[in-house]
A and B are shown apart, each in its own frame.
Chain A
Amino acid sequence: MKLLVCVSKAPDTTSKISFTDNNTVFDESGIQFIMNPYDEWYSLVRAIELKEQAGGTVTLVNVGPASNDVIIRKGLAIGADDAARIDMDPKSALSTAQQIAAFAKEGSYDIVFLGKETIDYNGAEVGSMLAEMLDMPYISFATKLDVAGNTATVSRDIEGGSEIAELETPFVISAAKGLAEQRIPNMRGIMMAKRKPLNVIAPVEVAEQIKTVQFELPGEKSAVKMVDPENMDELVRLLHEEAKVI
């Protein structure tokens, strides 16, 4: 099986968020970037497990600048075979998906994996766009994926439960929590990763369809109002009369 895993970088959740250029550009200075957790913990690991069971290759693809190579190498250390970095600063989900689609079309992959969403812009958009560009079925927010021959059984998160379905390869799938268990790269993996191919690819020409107007930081939250622990009637009164939520 030929498997493609799309990996993105994301700022560590503990990062302090700020903007430059008149609040139009995310200030990356001092930000600790990590591999997007959904990509690293669930999507990549499940792809490697399938390869271990049935044979094949796991290729990583990232759209991003050279500074992303550390993150890509981590994916190789966890167990991917090779990687491609499309050399472009991702501007929007659409142009990211277009870049990945152009790359994926060359490879005739059986399954294209993504994470459920990137934890920075919280879009959950790239997977659905990419599936359309590749004209493939899309299973979003998968918590289970088993493959026998070219038939896959999947389970995905829906409101208040789950949905189980079957389909044939090729398809696009996005990973939610539960699809696999996180793997920590070992020393051997890290050493081997240094010798695995990481190809840098020139981006294709794309037009943007949205513009960032500006970013804003939410206003300071007003100070917490402490309520006497002996007097819960007062808390109920506040929730009813002041906050108007019950």
Chain B
Amino acid sequence: MILVFAESTKGQFKKSVFEAVTYGAKLAASMGTTCAAVTMGEVSDAGQLGIYGAAKVYNVAGVGAFDSQVYSSVLADAAKQLEAQVVIMPVSSTGKAIFGRVAVRLGAGCVSGVNALPNLDGGFKVKKNVFSGKAVAEYEITTPVKVISLMGNTLPPESTGAAATVEALDIAVPAAKVRVKEVKTIDGIVPLPEAELVVSAGRGMKGPENWGMIEEMATILGATTACSRPVADTGWRPHHEHVGQTGVAILPNLYIAVGISGAIQHLAGVNQSKVIVVINKDPEAPFFKAADYGVLGDLFEVVPRLNEALKKYKAAN
């Protein structure tokens, strides 16, 4: 059996969970087995995971705020009880905190950040990006039980079936040692690691007062805003927007970079975007080499023009 950890926030699933279930169901089909999902704590409509291919959904009650020891103990016990051959979880803050723990508990070989379905030809082989996207590594997991985490946007969620039944799973929940006091999240904005569309700007903007047009573009597209490091360092933009080697690594479908030169440390965090658009007035800007579409011009003229074109497109579609 393939077991997917369906993490939830305030009782809701994120898209990454639907992707992981879709991935689990495809893997189960090629291994001739079934895919199940396990949820923890109170979840509204856990059965919807059936739509993405979970034959069954299990719920473990009594799991509270996040503590990696508690979550990994519950997940590993669930995997043992259900005799899972492969445990899959999304790459997320929760996934990263429990990934290694679960693998150690299960004595399982593991690879994190997998970005394609396994190759089952003569073993269980998975691929992931390494060296900040400058290379791809293929690993074979040689243990009977395997743990992998799935990179976001690896494959789109596919609705293939109907809602599944939700069954309670009887698993002891250890006491938490970490006392969560407060969770601060900005509502209404898709966080950068999950964003499909990202609009980003750099020092070419000249100052924070000019960001209105970047925010406007993001609003038209329903995109999340990002920035280069010097922009965050000088306080033009909040730190959580900083992408790159030392900031957030992202892999959206579309990354629009405005007035960013494309330094290697910036590229390290964004070069896994599917499509990159670069707007820059310097034909020598290194970013053009990493771009799919380039616009050579003054951003103060190009961006308002692009915003008008996007509005026209949105109104027509």
Pick from A212, A215, A233, A245: contact of B309, CB below 8 A. Answer: A233
Q: Shortest CB–CB separation between residue A37 and chain B, in angstroms?
A: 6
Interface string of A224-246 (1 = CB under 8 A from B): 11110110110110111001011
Q: Which residues of B contact A (CB under 8 A)?
A: 9, 14, 66-69, 72, 92-94, 96-101, 103-105, 108-113, 125, 128-143, 177-186, 189-191, 193-194, 197, 221, 239-240, 242, 245-247, 249, 253-254, 264-265, 268, 274-275, 277-278, 288-298, 301-302, 305-306, 308-310, 312-313, 317
A-B contact count (CB 8 A): 254
Cβ–Cβ < 8 Å partners of B93 in chain A: 140-141, 156-159
With a CB–CB cut-off of 8 A, which chain B residues contact A153? 181
Q: Which one, A94, A208, A235, contacts B103 given CB within 8 A? A: A94
> Nearest CB to that of A124 among chain B residues?
B96
* Closest Cβ–Cβ distance, residue A84 to chain B (whole Å): 21
- Compute how far the CA of A246 lies from the CA of B288 in the bound complex, rounded to whole angstroms: 21
**Chain B nearest Cβ from A216, distance in angstroms:** 5
Complex contact B129–A122 (CB within 8 A): yes
A28 CB–B CB distance under 8 Å: no
- A161 partner, pick from B67, B177, B183, B312, beta carbons under 8 A: B183
* Residues of B contacting A221 in the complex (Cβ-Cβ under 8 angstroms): 289-290, 292
Contact-size category for A: 35 or more
Question: Would you call A209 and B110 a contact (CB within 8 A)?
Answer: yes
Ranked 6 nearest A-B pairs via Cβ: A128-B100, A229-B297, A209-B109, A161-B185, A160-B191, A129-B100
CB of B109, distance to nearest CB on chain A (Å): 3
Contact A119 B290 (CB under 8 A): no
Let me know if A122 and B295 touch, CB within 8 A. Answer: no
- A126 partner residues in chain B, CB cutoff 8 A: 100
Closest to B139 in A: A210
A166 vs chain B, min Cβ distance (A): 5
Is A125 at the interface (CB under 8 A from chain B)?
Answer: yes
A91 CB to closest chain B CB (Å) equals 11
In the complex the two chains form, is B104's CB within 8 Å of A13's CB? no
B132 with A246: CB separation less than 8 A: no
